[in-house]
Structure 1
Amino acid sequence: MFLLALVVIVAVVMLVFGFEMFLVLGVPALMVKEFFYGRLPDPVLVQKIVGGINHSTLLAIPFFILAAELMGGGQIAKRLTGLVQAFCGHTRGGIGYTTIGASMAFGAVSGSAPATVAAMGRMVYPELRSNGFSDKFSLGLIASSAETALLIPPSITFIIYGWMTGTSVAKLFVAGIAPGFVLGLAFAVLVAWEAHRSGIKRGVPSAWPERLKAISHAGWALGMPVIILGGIYAGFFTPTEAAAVSVVYAIFVESVIFRDLPFSKLFKLTEQAAISTAIVFVLLALGGLLSYFITLAQVPTAITHFLDFIHAGPVVFLLIVNVCFFIAGMFIDPNSALLILVPPLFPVATALGIDPVHFGMIVTLNISIGMITPPFGLDLFVASSTLQKPVATIVAGIVPFVLANIAALLVITYVPGISTILPRLVFG
């Protein structure tokens, strides 16, 4: 436990002084090696850094990031939003429900919350304001709705969690559907409350010819989740292969069908995806090194003994997990929280009989909350940059959505059947 305390103290000090996140992960790992495992040959460090990311499952990450950039920068995101708007835009606060539904739909083809914020924000923010929603609520809704992209498959967070724990990514994809809808429902309740409080009136329902036209326009966009998820669940290809297929499909649809992807635009979007991929993989490599030393020091065993000492069962342990992730999400980026906390906590969870898939849903929802938790929630800054709004204004609007997240988290944490029923039905 002394080693874990040293890692935490060094990491916190570096965060306070504003060090980059890859250093916050890498420097404590090097200190542990020098102070506790000095006899360990230096080449082992290189092997752990390179070998940690030399895994075929992780190839899905750059493909899904590129696919998200292509769809967000093209017509697919717009047409998905138009489809949802055609069917629920006439209800009281309908554009709010459209924002949630469109974010879930875009998440089902991208797996990236920041990409969802960027893609949805520009389209729905003017509509939210013109329909009577306040500035703060509109900004909070846009930033929060993007969280569903981490739960609705395919999810990059599921891929990383599956790689770290050996849990089936396909099972995680199936399991994420129900928690994603629980979170979306919690946000929909907030939209209904705000629409009633603000006196927002119902809109005019779209005629069926308009709805059929919206379905026709979104047909190619809807083909993406059908191909990706249907192919995985039917066993035609793995999640990694599905990610590659998603890129080919996105390029084909945007360039050939929609004719909205000239080479210059493709080059720019690919460059942005490459930068995002490099950032993620540097964090994964150094996080894997830190995880190696945490495991080598038998920190999970020490945590298990401590829980036995205080007679803490699964209920108390999961509460501790949620508190740890909530605090971590306030100060470090989600992938780093995942890399730091999962290695010591996952073995304890399995020892207590907690289903790995269920634990993955709890971890992922915690990661989602970290995306919008001030002061360093990533989606807050993406929304600020996309919509040219002060971060403080977005934070003011995010408070009720954080409370809705906590309510959804408690339900998913202590009702495991929500997370496990679909994998059991699909895989037996």
Structure 2
Amino acid sequence: MLIAIMILAAVMLAAGFEMFLVLGVPALAVKAAYFPKLPDPVVIQKVFGGIDHATLLAIPFFIFAANLMASGQIARRLVGVIQAMVGHLPGGIGLTVVGGSMAFGSVSGSAPATVAAMGRMVYPEMRAAGFSDRFSLGLLVASAETALLIPPSITLIIYGWMTGTSIASLFAGGLAIGLFLGLAFALFVLWEARRDGVSVAEQQMWAARGRAILDAKWALGMPAIILGGIYSGLFTPTEAAAVSAVYAIMVEALIHRELTLRDLFRITEESAIATAIIFVLLAMGGLLSFFVTLARVPTEIIGFLEAIHAGPVLFLMVVNITFLIACMFIDPNSALLILVPPLFPAAMALGIDPVHFGMVVTLNICIGMITPPFGLDIFVASSTLGKPVMSIVAGVFPFVVVNLIVLAFVTYIPGLSLIVPRLLGG
């Protein structure tokens, strides 16, 4: 039955149907074919009940906060601190892009928002320093992936909602893997800078660095509040999201004085539209997940794995290949909604830790965000910087290779994903 669902979804996708229909129609087809006696109101209950979770309230709050920071001074001042610290190193502006993307990701949770914010701020500086156009575009797009791993990742929130995994534990694992991925990108930047003889900025005195930190003190307060509040037990991830939105409004309106009432209405409208798109997909994905589970598809997958004596190594290899192929043809977040429900029970049956599995899945989603032809971040960069899509694709390819190397480490060394959750959990 899983094959029939995938064929129907593929046909609808090729025919140009909207993604929420590609998720919803196969679910209704499963109901009609296998559960015709199931009352129709159950479908409505699952559509609305599936997204009626307090955990999901974190998504609109974090989207709103990210848009506020990208439009104001918080993002710029965070990047300013990173540049003051590493700008004098070989490829310093490239390292600033990596560090700035990680910093902005730590307060936004959104890769597309990170691409848009960082692209406008640092792309001209990368070109002026001597980085090639292709490498500059690739680095801007690829480094934004860290926003999907470093808390507060919207992708990890969705995965936690789907699987019942602790959001705090996922955030802890994402922090470790996000830093690991950022380190890999930084090493690649250093190699490229030395090879091309990229110019470096003058090393700033500690007094200048202190002024940069002082200027960004309110911006630096955002990740401190989000992460400190969650891991200290002061508030939940959902409450942290609400606090971050209120904090962003107060800082941008009252301290930086950049946020006007008209800006607030515009940002609220943009955030509401983005939230609605995500929640429609979540509702349809939840409906499909319900019928896939009801039809015992996960049980069939587990039975097949037992029949061929597949262990965790082979299973995780299949998971990676499946996600990498799926994300080339459908939106990565939709791939998450389609593939996790049948694969997660199989992972648990094989003894794979849910946090480790979440890191493997999320890193695959990261790669999908920069993989043509449906890599969302590629199109965000194209529209933000006015660059042809194919020139961005050419720049992204080396970073896909770096991602695959990191994915191999994360897949087969579970300790990379679990060390921080275990430390924080005692």
Q: Same fold (TM over 0.5)?
A: yes
Corresponding residue for 1:284? 282
Question: Greater CA deviation, 244-253 or 264-273?
Answer: 264-273
Corresponding residue for 1:297? 295
Identity across matched positions, percent:
69
Letter in 2 for 1:183: L
- Aligned counterparts of 1:203 and 1:346: Cα–Cα separation in 2: 48
Within 5 Å, give how 1:20-419 maps onto structure 2.
Answer: 20-419=18-417
Letter in 1 for 2:213: I
- Aligned counterparts of 2:131 and 2:304: Cα–Cα separation in 1: 49
| Residue 184 (structure 1) shift | 0.6
Letter in 2 for 1:266: L
| Residue 139 (structure 1) shift | 0.5
5+ unaligned residues in a row in structure 2: which ranges? none
Normalised by the length of structure 1, the TM-score is 0.99
SS across alignment from 1:154: coil
5+ unaligned residues in a row in structure 1: which ranges? none
SS across alignment from 1:54: coil
Tell me if the contact between 2:173 and 2:418 (Cα under 8 Å) persists in the aligned partners.
yes
- Aligned counterparts of 2:113 and 2:200: Cα–Cα separation in 1: 30
| 1:16 aligned residue (14, 17, 21) | 14
Normalised by the length of structure 2, the TM-score is 0.99
Considering only aligned residues, what root-mean-square deviation do their CA atoms show, in Å? 0.8
| Residue 203 (structure 1) shift | 2.5
| Residue 196 (structure 1) shift | 1.7
| Residue 331 (structure 1) shift | 1.2
SS across alignment from 1:260: coil
Tell me if the contact between 2:126 and 2:136 (Cα under 8 Å) persists in the aligned partners.
yes
Letter in 2 for 1:181: L
| Residue 16 (structure 1) shift | 1.2
SS across alignment from 2:50: helix
Displaced runs of 4 or more, over 4 A? none
- Aligned counterparts of 1:149 and 1:201: Cα–Cα separation in 2: 28
SS across alignment from 1:53: coil
Letter in 2 for 1:385: S
- Aligned counterparts of 1:310 and 1:189: Cα–Cα separation in 2: 40
Tell me if the contact between 2:298 and 2:342 (Cα under 8 Å) persists in the aligned partners.
yes
- Aligned counterparts of 1:412 and 1:5: Cα–Cα separation in 2: 29
| Residue 225 (structure 1) shift | 0.7
| Residue 201 (structure 1) shift | 3.2
- Aligned counterparts of 2:189 and 2:17: Cα–Cα separation in 1: 38
- Aligned counterparts of 1:36 and 1:6: Cα–Cα separation in 2: 12
SS across alignment from 1:176: helix
SS across alignment from 1:146: helix
Question: Greater CA deviation, 201-210 or 39-48?
Answer: 201-210
Letter in 2 for 1:165: T
- Aligned counterparts of 1:62 and 1:312: Cα–Cα separation in 2: 40
Letter in 2 for 1:306: F
Tell me if the contact between 2:129 and 2:200 (Cα under 8 Å) persists in the aligned partners.
no
Deviations 1:293-351 (A, max 9, x none): 11011111111111112111000000000111111111111211111000000000011
Deviations 1:220-241 (A, max 9, x none): 0000011111111111111100
Tell me if the contact between 2:13 and 2:22 (Cα under 8 Å) persists in the aligned partners.
yes
| Residue 202 (structure 1) shift | 3.1
Question: Greater CA deviation, 185-194 or 226-235?
Answer: 185-194
Letter in 2 for 1:15: L
